[in-house]
Chain A
Amino acid sequence: MMKPAQIIAQATVYALFALGIGVLSTRPSYTHFDPARALIKVSFAHGGEPVTACRKRSRAELKALAANMRKASICPRQRVALRFELSLDNTVILSETLPPTGWRGDGSSKIYRRIPTTAGRHTIVAKLRDSRRDQGFDHVSRHTITLVPGQSLSIDFKPAHGGFIYE
């Protein structure tokens, strides 16, 4: 038979354990992101041009191949690295060369970046080079937006949808 002191002690232990679980299951709060700021996320996966242009096979070359292998042109698998640049209010905040993925460098180039910024009106310029050229960019987009506190703006790139997408 339990003594009253034991019952009280057990109840206290249970209460302390419950208190510990109850408190630590929600407290202390954690500030992941300053609610007064905004966030720009840049992410896309895009494949650049092949490193060299395709060329047509000569008749002699085609003849040398087995009948089922006689593809008219040869295209290299490897793609060029992308050149990406992001400016915020005329200041370049991101400037990266994105190599292609894959063992043979034939996959898409990818990027995923988080850029916290102040809330308010901003002009964003995104530039991307995905061709073999050495200078300049193939895709340039200028976007003006008023970011509210706590807003998350995503910048994606999809050529089929017209290039850069701000969402």
Chain B
Amino acid sequence: MEFLKRPMKFAFLWLEGWFDRFFGPKWNPFYCLGALGYYYFWIVAASGIYIFIFFDTGIPQAFTSTEYMTHDQWYLAGIMRSLHRYASDAMVVMVLMHLCREFAFDRYRGGRWFSWVTGVSTLWLVFSAGVTGYWLVWDKLAQYIAIASTEWLDWLPIFGEPIARNFLASSHFDGRFFTLLVFMHIAIPLFLLFIMWFHLQRISYAKVNPARGLAVGTLAMLFVLSLVKPAISHEMANLAEVPGVLNMDWFYLWAYPMIEHLGPGFMWAFAGGGTLLLILVPWLPPKKRRPAAVVDLKNCNGCTRCVTDCPFRAVNMQPRTDGAPFREEAVVDPSMCVSCGICVGACPTAMPFRRASDLVAGIELPDLSVAHIRAQAHEAAVPLNGKDRIIAFGCDHGCDAAKLGINNLAFVPLRCAGMLLPSFIDYVLSKNLADGVVVSGCREGECHHRIGNVWVDGRLARERDPQLRRRVPVERLLKNWAAPTDRRQLFTEISAFQARLRDLPEDDAATRLTLVNGGKTDGTETSETAA
């Protein structure tokens, strides 16, 4: 799979880098492909409800009522019809890109298999909903789809009579068929919506709405497209004639020429086999899962921060079982845990300053304990010297600062930047292990573990617990969100940071607190001085 994933990931990272420049991280469409899929769904639903008011079932009525909307009431129903079509097409694009992106970034295995499998199952529903919609118009394209679809279904040996016989001649065809079709065209999207909801059941803080600017931009785009190129029908269907040349919607109808040229059996094998393969992908090959986070009840005070911060709903609270004087305790569901360590970064007991007892946090990753991270920081600090010593805490998925070849920089790897408790920054600086600390991770708006860098932003900006202590001289801190392809950017930022460190006075306790991001202030300046 790696031979597929690597080029795909590189292509996504390259494109996303450009889109970051055009749109900024908040509006970057690549960071909200799923949310855009939802958004297009709602546009399709809203426009569909409107055109349903004017749609009439019946053999000529289905076509004539659509023509009325397209030509007589073009200014509203016609635009709604076009929005309905184009938003449906855009939804297919988003769903497929979302799937490809999650695959390329390896975000579908381990505890994330559930979202992947439920997402794959939406594909059939999305395409079925689209096909039944094209069928309803009852033009030549609808006739072609109806006949080809039923011929495809007839390949299965489950029907007493070929259902394609319903379209043999006009005398075989009944207008009540459209009543059934309308029902299907409503029921399938409703079921799709249910699966879309199901799809999000194992993640918290799911992004189901794109940023407002992106939503406005994309709606305006669809509106302009609807005006410039309104959706129109072919001629009315006539079962005494064979549809000849068709203007196909290739987003939905790409399979039909395949059925025709390669045979219905091949298409069943392709669709069924493809679906099965996609469903099994999370286990091909099985991912060697890291051990799930474990709760140490001696250190868990039931504060719920790990539950709040877990991006995958893997941590829950349950009544206390050890008799300690707290109401609840955290409990981890190993099947849902992706071992990102964000819960560790949220745990106030992961305090590196602890001396009275062994450093064990209330919640820990068994293979990367807080004590181990502290020891690594100490070890990393040994060879550093001078005024620009840096310890960089970085995640496994962002740009690797260790590979930048920067002098006087030691790297402490984390599973996710969100795993870093802010007190580690305080610890490194106050213990004089380094002159500056770098926190690096995936690009802004694009965390491998969904929201790790968002939590870090909040913690360092002192808006989210556990907060960075006010005594920390923040000009000695650089946080930089960069992808593996952003090496030059990270190199430049760290080099400039080192230069700033060299210029700082030896004792800079009383300085302004400024969080630096990419060499610029991020607007969280305070005038308070450190303690």
Question: Which residues of A line the B interface, CB within 8 A?
Answer: 6, 9-10, 13-15, 17-18, 20-22, 24-35, 38-39, 41, 43, 45, 101, 107-108, 110, 112, 150-152, 154, 156, 167
Contact = CB atoms under 8 A, between A and B. Distances in A.
Given A18-B222, A21-B90, A108 B160 contact: yes
A27 B246 CA distance: 9
Contact of B250 (A14, A18, A24): A24
A152 B217 contact: no
Interface string B72-88: 00000000000001100
Interface of A is mostly: mixed
B242 A151 contact: yes
Given A10-B23, A29-B246, A32-B144, 17 more contacts: A9-B21, A13-B23, A17-B90, A21-B89, A25-B89, A26-B249, A29-B245, A31-B246, A32-B244, A45-B161, A45-B162, A107-B160, A110-B161, A110-B162, A152-B240, A167-B169, A167-B170
A128 B249 CA distance: 41
Given A13-B22, A112-B164, A18 B225 contact: yes
Contacts of A14: 217-218, 220-221
A24 B162 contact: no
Nearest to A6: B22
B290 interface: no
Interface in B20-57: 21-24, 27
Given A22-B86, A167-B169, A152 B249 contact: no
B266 interface: no
Contacts, number: 123
Given A30-B248, A154-B168, A24 B242 contact: no
B160 A29 contact: no
B245 A31 contact: yes
Contact of B242 (A26, A28, A110, A152): A152
Interface in B188-240: 217-218, 220-222, 224-225, 228-229, 231, 239-240
B229 A152 contact: no
Contacts of B231: 25
A167 B19 CA distance: 58
Contact of B162 (A22, A31, A32, A112): A112
A9 B15 CA distance: 13
Contacts of B154: 112
Interface in B133-171: 144, 151, 154, 160-162, 164-165, 168-171
Contacts of A20: 93
Nearest to B232: A26
- 8 pairs of A and B residues whose beta carbons are closest in the complex: A35-B244, A9-B22, A26-B247, A167-B169, A112-B162, A14-B221, A45-B161, A154-B169
Contacts of A38: 242
Which among A17, A28, A45 has the greatest number of chain B C-beta atoms within 10 A?
A: A17
Interface string B244-272: 11111111000001001000000000000
A73 B144 CA distance: 49
B507 interface: no
B86 A25 contact: yes
Nearest to B86: A21
A83 B317 CA distance: 72
A21 B93 contact: yes
Nearest to A37: B242
Contact of B225 (A22, A28, A31): A22
B243 interface: yes
A9 B19 CA distance: 9
Nearest to B159: A110
A35 B160 contact: no
Given A22-B86, A151-B241, A156 B168 contact: yes
A22 B257 contact: no
29 contacts: A6-B21, A10-B23, A14-B217, A17-B90, A20-B93, A21-B89, A21-B251, A22-B86, A25-B251, A30-B257, A31-B245, A32-B144, A32-B242, A32-B243, A32-B246, A34-B244, A35-B244, A43-B165, A45-B161, A101-B160, A110-B160, A112-B164, A112-B165, A150-B241, A150-B244, A151-B240, A151-B242, A156-B172, A167-B169
Contacts of B251: 21, 24-25
B243 A21 contact: no
A21 B225 contact: yes
Contacts of A32: 144, 242-246, 257, 260
B89 A43 contact: no
Contact of A167 (B162, B171, B242, B245): B171
Contacts of A41: 168
Contacts of B89: 21, 24-25
B241 A156 contact: no
B419 to A, nearest CB: 34
B229 A22 contact: yes
Contacts of B164: 43, 112
Contacts of B168: 41, 43, 154, 156, 167
Nearest to B23: A10
Contacts of A167: 168-171, 240
Contacts of A9: 21-22
A38 B241 CA distance: 8
A23 B26 CA distance: 29
Given A22-B229, A101-B160, A151-B240, A156 B246 contact: no
A10 B217 contact: yes
Contacts of A30: 245-248, 257
A26 B248 contact: yes
A32 B241 CA distance: 12
Given A25-B85, A27-B247, A156-B169, A33 B224 contact: no
